[in-house]
Amino acid sequence: MKTIKNIIQTKSKSIYAVTPQTSVLDALQVMMDKNISALLVMEGPELRGIFTERDYARKIILQGKASKETSIQEVMTTNLETVKLNASIEHCMKIMTERHIRHLPIVEDGIVAGVISIGDLVKFVIEDQKQTIEQLQTYISS
C-alpha cells in the first residue's frame, strides 16, 4: 500500500510557515516568493492553523478587510485535518474530497513533517499508474 511517506520522500524538505501575528500582506508576500498557495501557521513547533488563497479570497477580499492591518490569526483555518506519514494515498484523497480542502498537513508525534496538496496526490497516482502500465506491458510482451 502506498502511503504519504512515499510522496514526502520525493518533495522538498522545506516547510513554509508564519506566526499567527503575521499580517496577511506579509503572508501573501511569502506565498508569492515561494510560489505556494498555502502556509502553515505555527507558534514554535506547534501547528495552529493554515492560511490559503481560499482564506484570502473569502475572509479578506469578500469581507472588505485590509491585508496590511489584518493578522493571520483572524482569518486562518483552525479546524485542521491532519494525517500521519503512514496514511494511505486513498485515505488522504477521501479526506480532501469530502472536506473540500486542497492542502493536508502531515503531523507525526506532534511534529509537522510536511504538507501535501491535492496536486501532489494526483501527480503521485498518475506516476504510479504509469509504472503499473509499463510493468504490465513488459509482462505481456515477454
What is the pLDDT confidence band of residue 128, given thresholds at 50, 70 and 90?
A: confident
Q: Which domains does the chain have, with CATH numbers?
A: 4-141 (3.10.580.10)
pLDDT at 141 over 90: no
pLDDT tens digits, 129-140: 898 898 898 889
Quote the CA–CA distance of 83 and 91 in Å, as a whole number.
Answer: 9
pLDDT value, residue 3:
93
Mean of pLDDT values over 49-64: 93
pLDDT digits (tens, 9 = 90+) for 81-123: 999 999 999 999 999 999 999 999 999 999 999 999 999 999 9
Note the pTM of the prediction, 2 decimals.
0.87
